[in-house]
Each structure stands twice: as C-alpha cells, then as structure tokens.
Amino acid sequence: MAEIAASAAIFDERGRILLVLEREAWSYPGGRLEPGETPEQAVVREAREEAGVEIEVGPLLCTREWPDGFVLYVFAATIARGEPQPPPGIREVGWFDSAELPSPRSRALETLPDVLAPSS
C-alpha cells in the first residue's frame, strides 16, 4: 500500500522557505497521513507538530510519487499563529534561501523546483 504524506511550503516576507531538521535530514514541515485524514488536515497537524505553528493551507503546489510508492502532496501555506520553533523530536527549524538549502536533505525537497515554479 502506498504511503501518503503532506507537506507545507511556507515562505517568509524575504522569500525564504521554512525547513525542519527531523532525524537526519532537512525537509518541509510535513509527514504521513493518519487513518481517515485528508492531506489538508495532515499538513495542518504536521506544521503544528514539527514547527510549532498554526497554518492556513493554500493551493496544492505539486504531487510527486516515487517508484517505491511514496506519494507526497506539497501545499502552499502561510503562518496564521506562532513563531517557528523546534518542538520535541525536531532538532532544528530554520528559514533558508532556496538557492542555499542545508544538507542532508530529504527526498521531499526534490519537489522544490516544482514548488518554486510559477503555476501556469
């Protein structure tokens, strides 16, 4: 069965993207859907759990499926409440220029060119 996850692409006023360092890799705030959860519900929960912020979910920016069946939905999002900070289980949270991303990176960040591309 496919694993499905949802992530939030959150940018600040300077155009930097919010990333979280979970386990050994940097990624968008996000994670796997829980039973009965929609991708939109999952991304709100994951942003709260991984970055300590409440978000407003915007449009779906891209969907990617990898050969192993892992599916990722990446949504545009804005912070409605809170300042990003690492809750327990997250090593670090930070704002990064898309041209200077930290390493190592999760495969989710392979979608960043699609996220940054203007929608046609």
For residue 10, pLDDT beyond 70: yes
The model's pLDDT over 13-25, given as tens digits with 9 standing for 90+, comes to 999 999 999 989 9
- What pLDDT shows up at residue 12? 95
| Torsion angle in degrees (nearest 10) through CA of 85, 87, 90, 93 | 0
- Name the residue ranges covered by the structural domains of the chain: 4-116
When the candidates are 3.90.79.10, 3.40.50.10540, 3.40.50.1100, 3.40.50.150, the CATH number that belongs to 4-116 is 3.90.79.10
47 — pLDDT class (breaks 50, 70, 90): very high
